[in-house]
Amino acid sequence: MTDTKTYGKLIGASLGPGDPDLITRRAWTALQSGARWIYPVKKAQEISYALSIVQNGGLPVPTDAVELVFPMTRDAEALGKAWTRAARRTVELLAEGRDVVFLVEGDASTFATFGHLARVVREIVPEIEVDTIPGVSSFTAAAAATGLPLAEEDETLAIIPTAYGIGVIEHMLDEFDTLILLKVKPLLDEVIELLERRGILATSCFIEKVGSPDERIVRDLATLKGETVNYLSLLIVRNAKRQRGELRRGCRQRKEAAEARANA
């Protein structure tokens, strides 16, 4: 028998990193479209950061909003079961024929839960339509809040989770003019020591819960040693001392080719 069920559309609504004024008009429209809300929590009945962004913007939470639990664990088996439960619950809701909007802090395409959820949902029911609404990421908001440019002219930029470790971070300092280190909490002291040794502590900045009422910016990173910071924190590292190679520009290449033909 052919499945004639009509599914709703799964919408990933990017809400920005904390300031409800950064919610895009498109995401705001989706939130008020009559679609059912679903939102992530780390534990059942726990406060959802994504949901709090919308609440701070003045929107009431619908009575039929549904929480999905995504536990903070590295246990692959536990994670797999949680993802499967969340995806199956999402499919159940979509099977009612109503659109479902998933609340995403930051940008739905950048280090976000939504991409994986949407992929698993479509593995279960391939015909489900997915709409990803882009938004403001934590690091672009942090750059604006601190007045630090992420990249100018021909500068290079890299964004990585700090969990990759000090060895990788040190290598990337030699390759990029600006390094964004996300979720710095576990290795903050080690990173500060590395930046101090490399002489770029003064051109780095720490930002915690950017855009939220609890936003904190710290420019004197040495004062953070030994402190337990929030999970939602990042570092902008500007490496003005990086040695760059020669750039090959398209116009220069065309000029060189023309000169070569003229001299032939």
> Mean per-residue pLDDT for 44-71?
90
Is the pLDDT at 182 greater than 80, yes or no? yes
Tokens 């059912």 -> residue = 36
SS3 content of the chain, % helix, strand, coil (to 5): 40, 20, 45
Is the pLDDT at 207 greater than 50, yes or no? yes
Is pLDDT larger for residue 257 or for residue 220? 220
Cβ burial, residue 18 (10 Å; 0-12/13-18/19+): buried
Rounded Cα–Cα distance for residues 176 and 159 (Å): 10
> Mean per-residue pLDDT for 199-224?
94
For residue range 75-124, list pLDDT tens digits in order.
778 778 888 899 999 999 999 999 999 999 999 999 888 999 999 999 99
Is the pLDDT at 153 greater than 60, yes or no? yes
Kindly report the length of the chain. Answer: 264
> Mean per-residue pLDDT for 155-184?
94
Encode burial over 158-170: b for 16+ CB neighbours within 10 A, e otherwise: bbbebeeeeeebe
Is pLDDT larger for residue 152 or for residue 195? 195
* Biggest alpha carbon–alpha carbon distance for the chain: 77
What percentage of the chain exceeds 90 in pLDDT?
74
Taking domain 10-133, whether its CATH number is 3.40.1010.10 is answered by yes
Contacting residues for 203 by C-beta, under 8 A, at least 6 apart: 237, 238, 239, 240
Is the pLDDT at 135 greater than 60, yes or no? yes
**DSSP states of 161-200:** EGGG-HHHHHHHHTT-SEEEEE--GGGHHHHHHHHHHHT-
Structural domain spans, the chain: 10-133, 138-238
Predicted confidence at residue 2, as pLDDT, reads 45
Is the pLDDT at 42 greater than 50, yes or no? yes
Predicted confidence at residue 72, as pLDDT, reads 73
Is the pLDDT at 28 greater than 70, yes or no? yes
Rounded Cα–Cα distance for residues 87 and 224 (Å): 39
Q: What is the DSSP letter of 247?
A: P
Predicted confidence at residue 183, as pLDDT, reads 93
Which of 88, 69, 90 lies closest to 78 in space, CA to CA?
Answer: 69
The one-letter amino acid at 220:
D
**Pairing assessment for the beta strands 204-208 and 233-238 based on DSSP bridges:** antiparallel
Q: Which fold has domain 138-238?
A: 3.30.950
Q: What is the mean pLDDT of the chain?
A: 89
Is the pLDDT at 251 greater than 70, yes or no? no
Tell me the pLDDT band of 1, cut-offs 50, 70 and 90.
very low
Predicted confidence at residue 245, as pLDDT, reads 63
> Mean per-residue pLDDT for 253-261?
58
Tell me the pLDDT band of 22, cut-offs 50, 70 and 90.
very high
